[in-house]
Amino acid sequence: MQAGRGREDRNSMQYSLFFIQRFKGKVLFNVPMSEHTSFRIGGPADVMAFPQDDGDLKDLVAFAESKGFQFHVLGAGTNLLVRDGGVRGIVVNMCEGFKDTSWLDEGKAVVGAGVRLPELVNQARDRGLSGLEFAVNIPGTVGGAVMMNAGAYGGEMADVVEGIEVIGRKGQKGFIPKSELNFSYRKAVLPKGAIVTRAHMRFRKGDPEGIRGRMAEFRERRKASSAIPYPNAGSIFKNPEGRIAGKLIEEAGLKGERSGGAMVSEAHANYIVNAGGAKAKDVLALMALVRDKVFSSLGIVLEPEIKVIGED
């Protein structure tokens, strides 16, 4: 038996024993990540676990830490590119648990990390609460949105988040106030290995008609990108200060540029789409081409907005 194969077999046995004995949620093995990302790209994950509650997640993280197994956290998979070799270790999928929302007095709410943003926007609207309308078109989960300080149309998660509940890398529970998250453009700072379980949020009282009007306006402004007929991961690059990445890419003449099955969208230049059979290597090659061309022609360095994980 090859040494590498032996290690894989022992790891599989340890995974199986843990999940049989302690885990309440669903568990999948050798899962194509292409089935769990909006890009429809990505090799297999060794294990995908769907924790149902804090106890499940606490045990799972502590187990992974004690065995030295890698783990990655997955929300809706909408801002993610998984490399073609897949993901070693455990992918923690937060989309089937952590969907609880507790509405409190004074416009406050405690929201599970697995709640989808458009659903939360609608719940807030129905209560006459404002502050999250900008997220009406963002398809991700609350946990992922906090991690990247998601935003649009001048709003961002930092505007409404007061703090977050987390499970730490050894399985311990904790609370991190907003002041320690150091929110910045498309970024929050969390302790290494910490997983967001819930967000404590505060909204403003607003006029229901005004809230509906802003939501309708933002939906209308999003029509061009939401009509893209190919799988994608949303905006690929961050907007440089004072500039719009999509316009820079368009100015560089890159709309329709291709690498394998990946293509710069004709409708929105900051979207790279899976035009058919794209691999992660195609997307990465196209991202590199776009960055090089924008820098050489306009002197501006574009920074990726999407997260890239896995092995080649």
Please list the active-site residues. Answer: 186, 235, 305
Beta bridge partners of 262: 259, 274
The residue among 9, 50, 8 whose CA lies nearest residue 27 is 50
Kind of pairing, strands 44-50 and 26-32? antiparallel
For the beta carbon of residue 68, count every other beta carbon within 10 angstroms: 8
H/E stretch holding 165? strand 161-167
CA atoms within 13 A on the CB side of 146: 30
DSSP 257-293: -EETTEEE-SS-TTEEEE-SS--HHHHHHHHHHHHHH
